[in-house]
Amino acid sequence: MDEDDRARLAEFVASRTPALMRVAYLLTGDRHAAEDLFQSALARTIPRWRTLRNADPEGYLRTVMYREQVSWWRRLRRYRESLLTGAHEVPAADPSGGTDLRLAMRAALRHLPPAQRTVVVLRYYEDLTETQVAQALGCSVGTVRSRTHRAVARLRQLLPDVELLEVRR
């Protein structure tokens, strides 16, 4: 990689890191895991930078992050790490209205499996369609639908006060 390519890569990383780190943090739910995911995706993108610099490097990097998040190897490693870190803390009740529900939703999102969590992030944060999500993850549209349905059902199950939310509206 020559100096020009390296300068463009450094500029790209410096300009797009905050947005990509937000997505990585939403995908993983943990600061260190998000940093690791972003670095891993960036390490996979750097060898292909010459072919990507004139195309869409951010799209490639995002796709690598999405697929890396749901990969089998990463899931295995994450399982070992989750045994060491106590990432399943239950939020305490908050007397302010709605805050406890959001905290409960955060905890419920953390309890989702990586595949379902990724689909939720892509559908409700990135606002991608089912077809776009399927293309990004390399799976079928039916798989995206089923994962989304299971994720929402799981969130309903984990949120005991979701019926109250329906009543409040």
Partner 1 sequence: MTSPLEDLIRTTLTDLAEEAPTVQDQLQPAERRARTRRRATVTMGAVGTLAAVLIAAPLAVAQTSSETPQPAAPTAPPPRPAEPTSEATPAPRPPLPGPATPAAPRPAATPSPAAPAPGKPSGPARPARPAPTPPTAVPSPVGTEVPPGRPSPVPPGSPSPR
Closest CB 123 distance from partner 1, rounded Å: 9
How many residues line the site for partner 1 (CB under 8 A)? Answer: 42
Q: Tell me the C-alpha distance between 95 and 31, whole Å.
A: 28
Which of 34, 37, 65, 133 is in the footprint of partner 1 by CB under 8 A? 34
158 binds partner 1 (CB under 8 A): no
Q: What is the x/- site pattern for partner 1, positions 40-69, by CB under 8 A? A: x-xxx-xx----------------------
Residue whose CB is less far from partner 1, 42 or 52? 42
Question: Which residue type, as a one-letter code, is found at position 49?
Answer: W
Which of 80, 83, 93, 169 is in the footprint of partner 1 by CB under 8 A? 169
Identify which of 83, 87, 160, 93 has the alpha carbon closest to the alpha carbon of residue 117: 87
Report the Cα 140 to chain-centroid distance in Å. 19
Q: Tell me the C-alpha distance between 62 and 65, whole Å.
A: 5
Site for partner 1 in 89-128 (CB under 8 A): 101-102, 105-106, 109, 120-121, 124-125
For residue 12, what are the contacts with CB-CB under 8 A and spacing of at least 6? Answer: 57, 58
152 binds partner 1 (CB under 8 A): yes
35 binds partner 1 (CB under 8 A): yes
Q: Which whole-number Å values give the CA distances from 65 to 22, 95, 114, in the listed order?
A: 12, 38, 12
Residue whose CB is less far from partner 1, 4 or 83? 4
